[in-house]
Amino acid sequence: MAKAHGKGGSVTFTGLTAGVSSWSLDLSADLAESTDFADGATAVGSSTGIKSRIVGLHDSQATVELFWDSANTAREGDSGSLVLTAASGKTYTFTAIVEKVSLKVAVDGINSGTYSFLANGACVIA
């Protein structure tokens, strides 16, 4: 598997224009257990104990870290198209809502912020 340095990544979202330093993405699916007595049976009266599941709803959530700049105007509750691009060029795009904005100002460091996004639609991977 080829490795890639993260330096070529990017984030696009209205109101986030300056100083993005990293992003992370969590893709998940609800799983409902559907195990019954017949699942995993290897012979009459015995079972391997294997559970079975079915996939339900999918979800996406992202976190973007940045160096705080007054050009960044996105706020909690804002909605728009979020495009996360990896250094490899692979993109993850979905309509997202800003769930939370956290800012950190330190006397001995660079002002920073963290934006948490929740999907409001399917994630398209290209």
Contact between 101 and 74 (Cβ < 8 Å): yes
Most confident of 4-13, 46-55, 100-109: 100-109
CATH code (residue 90): 2.40.30
The alpha carbon torsion through 70, 112, 102, 124 (nearest 10 deg) reads 90
**Residue among 13, 12, 18 nearest 112 (CA):** 18
pLDDT at residue 39 is higher than 80: no
The reported pTM is 0.84
Say what the pLDDT of residue 98 is.
97
In a domain, 42, yes or no: no
Per-residue DSSP letters for the chain? -----GGG-EEEBTTB-S-EEEEEEEEEEEEEE---TTTT--BTTB------EEEEEEEEEEEEEEE--TT----TT-EEEEEEE-TTS-EEEEEEEEEEEEEE--TTS--EEEEEEEESSPPEE-
For the chain, the domain total comes to 1
**Cα(1)–Cα(3) distance, integer angstroms:** 6
pLDDT tens profile 73-89: 999 999 999 999 998 89
pLDDT tens profile 40-51: 655 555 556 677
In a domain, 40, yes or no: no
Range of the domain at 71: 6-29+58-125
In a domain, 70, yes or no: yes
Share above pLDDT 70 across residues of the chain, in percent, rounded to a whole number: 90
